Amino acid sequence: MSRVAVVLSGCGYLDGSEITEAVATLVALSQHGMHYDCYAPDRPQRHVVDHLSGEGTEESRNILVEAARIARGNVRALDQLNPDEYDAIVFPGGFGAAKNLCTFAEEGVNARMHDDVKAAIMPFVLTRKPVVAICAAPLLLGLAAREAGYSKAQITVGYGGNPLSDAIEAWGQFHMPLAVDQACLDRTHAFISTPAYMFDEASPAAIFASVQAAVAALREILG
């Protein structure tokens, strides 16, 4: 049975993991008979957003504690992840990918991965074990590819023409325009990405189809 690490960035699309994408990921992995464990950074969120009003608040919340809402409490600190124990790593989307996993929300094309995220993802990238990234999380593929010295890795965040796709290309990678229910499979670098809620008007069913496409590509690579 394949073992997959799923990295969450909180709970709620405005300041953490997008819940539909995260749950769809766990369901799709389960459907394909893959064992998964959830991880999240054990540190404060960049900021907290009231998801009813859409406004920021003065609260402080811990990313790991918030991610436990999605994982039903079964989640470990990201710095405990041992890449040798897993065949692949998956990053659901949500703005937490740009706010809590890297510094893109503050620094744009000058972004960097946070140290715990870099330590988790780079062993997979450098050994060409599959890395799956959904919605905004393909930013991490671009950053990791740049870190590894790769160029023209194929990555998608949808049709493109937005700050995320522009950054991916600025980092020397190739942005692949794709529809919501398609996944980009870069066999050379073992990267899989899919747009999901980069299409704001997509239905939950379309989001699940997007995640299923990515997990099906993962299953294909793993055999």
Q: Give the residue numbers marked as catalytic.
A: 135
* Torsional sign, CA 151, 156, 161, 165: negative
Pick from 164, 175, 187, 157: which is nearest to 109 by CA?
A: 164
What is the distance between the alpha carbons of residues 150 and 105, in angstroms, rounded to a whole number?
23
Helices (H), ranges, the chain: 19-31, 63-70, 96-99, 104-107, 115-126, 138-148, 163-170, 204-222
What is the distance between the alpha carbons of residues 210 and 29, in angstroms, rounded to a whole number?
13
Q: Count CB neighbours of 72 within 10 A.
A: 9
What is the distance between the alpha carbons of residues 52 and 191, in angstroms, rounded to a whole number?
34
- Beta strand 48-49 with 56-57 is antiparallel
Query: Residue 106 phi/psi, 5° resolution?
Result: -95, -35
